[in-house]
Chain A
Amino acid sequence: MTLLHGRGYASVNYPTGMNLGGDPSQALIHATTTGGFVVTLSSVDLGQGLKTVVAQCAAETLGIPMENVIIDTADTDTGPHCMGTFASRGTHRVGNAVIMAAREAREVMLQVAADELEVDAGDLETDGTGYVHLKGSPDTKIHVQDVAMAAHFDQGKTISGRGIFLKERSYPVPETGEMDPDSCQAHACTVAEVEVDDETGVVTVLTLHNAYEIGRALNPAMVSQQIEGGAWMGVSHAVFESTEPYYPASRAHGPVDFCEYLMPGPAEIPAQTSVILERPAPNGPFGAKGIGEMTANAPIPAIANAIFDACGVRLTTMPFTPESVLRGLDALRAEGQG
């Protein structure tokens, strides 16, 4: 038995959004009496952290603390339309809609504050601590809670805002495929290091090194979780998963539970090292691009290329099972003998 080591590379890009059907999302924002800001959506947080990241967009734009932002979402009676959470569109589309709504609400908030302070709204600024104050005169200030109270009970104003992001539908030209399907592209390069057991055919992914260009890391920890979680799925796709093990020859032998449908456990997760680059997208929320989907992609060919580097077997069918590695090694030996 020999453990063979190899290294493989892959570089990819990935589109943010897919506007073959038009691609809108909306947001509404209103202030409560005491300076909470409710962001109302119908978008679905898949666990990737959409609610958190759009709350950051709202807080940044309004110039208020995160604690003042409440996200109310995923109810079609109360929330305005969202196309859905897919196509790496959530952060980009919903983030943009929230920023637009927050700008409108901020304008009202500053006007109310200006009237309370008896200054010009254009001379006011926020610092994210909860106060609105006069530029160059930090003591002339009013807390957002007092602004909201004044709006509700003295001035008779709603501090609110409406936002929508719409990438208009693109119809592909049937003859040539000319189209404008996305908003921007994120980028990644992955280097995989594997170990191949030439007796069992088992491939172990040892390390993944990644460089990702994502526009803007709105929340760096959530970027890390996307990259590492997605890479886990890529490793799983590469060396474990299929609902039809003998595709396309036989529809039989389909796994029906997690005893038969294998995925990497903690022992099979490679060590990962990643570096983030930021080239802000002009149309992205604070420059962000969507990386929800792409993080599973580059590891797969990087692993395929590393397997070849390790043992000379070129696997062209996913997944890269021990059986396919052993058959490849047998074929190499047969060639050597012939």
Chain B
Amino acid sequence: MARVNPIDGEFFKSERTSGFNVIGTTVPRSDALGHVTGRTEFFEDRTFPDLAHVKIHRSAYHHARIDSVDISEASKVPGVLRVITYKDVPANWYTVLRLIGIEPNDEPVLAEDRVLYAGEPIVAVVADSEAAAIEGAARVKVGYTALPAVFDVEEAMSPDAPVIKQAGTNFFVYEGHHARRIRFGDVEEGFAQADRIFEWRYSSAPIEHAPTETTGCVVVPQADGRLIIHTNTQAAFFTLDNTALILDRPFTDLRVKGGTVGGGFGGKVDVMVEPLACIAAALTNRPVKFVYTREEEMQVSSPRAAERIYIKDGVLDDGRIVARKIMLYVDAGAYSRHSPYGTTKAAAHLPGPYTIPNVYADCHCVYTNRTPSSAMRGFGVTIADFAIESQMDRIARALDIDPLRFRLINAYRDGDMKAHRKVASGTALIEVIQRAAALVGHDLPEEYLALSSSTPGEARS
């Protein structure tokens, strides 16, 4: 019998309807039995005759010019079928978000004359066996000239930093601005009104998705020339469209089959393995498998971005926050991937679930010489929530106000204008705070228990 958390129907009673047959009931998950009995079929469970394998020779430098690439020894390894360089990639430069018009194409499938992070792919080796592919990749010889590397987001933004990106800036440019901006009210006037000012810094290190099943695919050439891609992607058409653009082939040449994912968490939306596997399959006319090793998954696949966040708050003695200024830096690593989008998502989330009349935010998508970061569960929000909710706790303590009452005083409600100028509706922050307080026996005074999200806030400055 599945364990189920109780639903408290006392809240929002008038808005809830009932009378459903299967909605609201615990139907067993369709994949549960397969998972616990080991019968679920993942892409790697498919076997194909003559399956070939792809392995990658990766950059040994954080930032370097490539002076030479010698593949002669790799080609001589018994079992190696083909050595692939950027010259074999029809449209080598891409960015996954070009599907929604994001420019420029800032990342090569295989490096050309420079590398921007340690682990960047330079050469792909296709071989009869995994061992031969590993051996071939190890025998590739690359000559480098090391270039100065940038590892800190604020250093990267400084005018003195070496420019690592071809576009000319170490940050993504949002319609002419160096950051995704939020401008709401007048933040300086808010600080002037405030009784107290609090300013602190928060940061995080990169985090891996750590799926049980690493990122991978098997590509199988068909008799009619089409390629079937068996993959654990989180987004079938997104993968298909990006892959076809890189292959410079008609979209109808590709067929993506997936739907079973051994852990995604945002780590399988980057389209990292399918293009090279397709090129290898087309060049050798054999089924090809390209799957990350655990080490590649940990150190080369996109992590959750490290972030650095400065929050400056202006607060009245009664607990009302009247101004919040946030400087947020997302460490995108060497290439854009989904980071320009995630940084905008962060901006839309600010200043958190609170109604603050004056908000100012600059959210920077910054490039550094490390593994490109990208989407991960809570994209743009998880680290911001850590910063905002730590800030709320510190201010409550500094003002000697109960931490839940401090949140309730500032909680957003229906009809409030958010900082990105969308009117709030369907809010329920007040109610989850009230209910959590009850869960742990945290007493709230009557006037705080009487608050409601659907009642407009009164007399907020």
Contacts and interface: CB of A to CB of B under 8 A. Distances in A.
Contact of B432 (A49, A172, A212, A296): A212
Given A220-B5, A248-B152, A261 B383 contact: no
A55 interface: yes
Contacts of B431: 187, 211, 213, 277, 279
Contacts, number: 418
Nearest to B255: A77
A301 B389 contact: yes
Contacts of B344: 20, 172, 179, 181
Interface string B146-171: 00000111000000000000000000
Contact of B100 (A7, A20, A63, A82): A20
A267 interface: no
A182 B348 CA distance: 9
B269 A86 contact: yes
A75 B256 contact: yes
Contacts of B370: 244, 251
Interface stretch (B10-18, B85-93, B103-111): B10-18
A84 B151 contact: no
A255 B427 contact: no
A300 interface: yes
Contacts of B206: 242-244, 247
A302 B264 CA distance: 25
A336 to B, nearest CB: 19
Give the interface size class of chain B. 35 or more
Given A20-B100, A85-B235, A242-B206, A279 B428 contact: yes
Given A46-B264, A86-B269, A177-B347, A300 B4 contact: no
Interface stretch (B127-135, B136-144, B188-196, B435-443): B435-443
Contacts of B5: 212, 220, 223-224, 227, 274-276
B103 to A, nearest CB: 13
Given A44-B258, A242-B207, A52 B30 contact: yes
A241 B16 contact: no
Interface in A1-47: 7-15, 18, 20-22, 42-47
Interface stretch (A106-114, A158-166, A188-196): A188-196
B186 to A, nearest CB: 13
B219 to A, nearest CB: 14
B147 to A, nearest CB: 15
B249 interface: no
Contacts of A7: 440
Interface in A210-255: 210-213, 215-224, 227, 230, 233, 237, 241-245, 247-249, 251, 254-255
B441 to A, nearest CB: 10
Given A257-B298, A276-B7, A318 B205 contact: yes
A281 interface: yes
B233 A44 contact: yes
A239 to B, nearest CB: 12
Nearest to B184: A176
Interface stretch (B20-28, B49-57, B280-288): B20-28
B143 to A, nearest CB: 22
Interface in B331-370: 331, 341, 344-345, 347-349, 352-353, 361, 368, 370
B175 to A, nearest CB: 4
A275 B203 contact: no
B165 to A, nearest CB: 18
A180 interface: yes
Contact of A222 (B7, B29, B174, B394): B29
Contacts of B207: 237, 241-243
A214 B435 CA distance: 14
Contacts of B265: 233
B234 interface: yes
Nearest to B340: A20
Give the interface size class of chain A. 35 or more
Contacts of B181: 174-177
A177 B429 contact: no
B208 A243 contact: yes
A118 interface: no
A209 interface: yes
A84 B6 CA distance: 31
A52 B29 contact: yes
Given A60-B20, A127-B21, A318-B203, A302 B184 contact: no
Given A11-B389, A301-B385, A213 B22 contact: no
13 contacts: A9-B403, A20-B341, A21-B101, A66-B27, A79-B236, A85-B234, A181-B344, A185-B424, A189-B435, A216-B23, A233-B265, A248-B153, A261-B208
Given A74-B258, A212-B432, A275-B436, 18 more contacts: A9-B393, A13-B412, A45-B259, A47-B264, A177-B421, A189-B432, A209-B436, A221-B26, A249-B151, A256-B298, A261-B298, A275-B5, A278-B9, A279-B12, A280-B16, A296-B382, A300-B386, A301-B388
Query: Lowest 4 CB-CB distances: which A-B pairs, in order?
Result: A84-B235, A74-B259, A21-B100, A301-B389
Interface of B: 2-9, 11-12, 15-17, 20-31, 35, 62, 97, 99-101, 118, 151-153, 174-177, 180-184, 200-208, 210, 233-238, 240, 254-266, 269, 294-295, 298-299, 303, 306, 331, 341, 344-345, 347-349, 352-353, 361, 368, 370-371, 375, 377-379, 381-383, 385-390, 392-394, 403-404, 407, 411-412, 419-422, 424-429, 431-433, 435-437, 439-440, 442, 453
Interface of A: 7-15, 18, 20-22, 42-47, 49, 51-52, 55-57, 59-60, 63, 66, 71, 73-77, 79, 81-87, 127-128, 169, 172, 174-182, 184-185, 187-191, 209-213, 215-224, 227, 230, 233, 237, 241-245, 247-249, 251, 254-258, 261, 263, 273-282, 286-287, 292-294, 296-298, 300-302, 304-305, 308, 314, 316-319
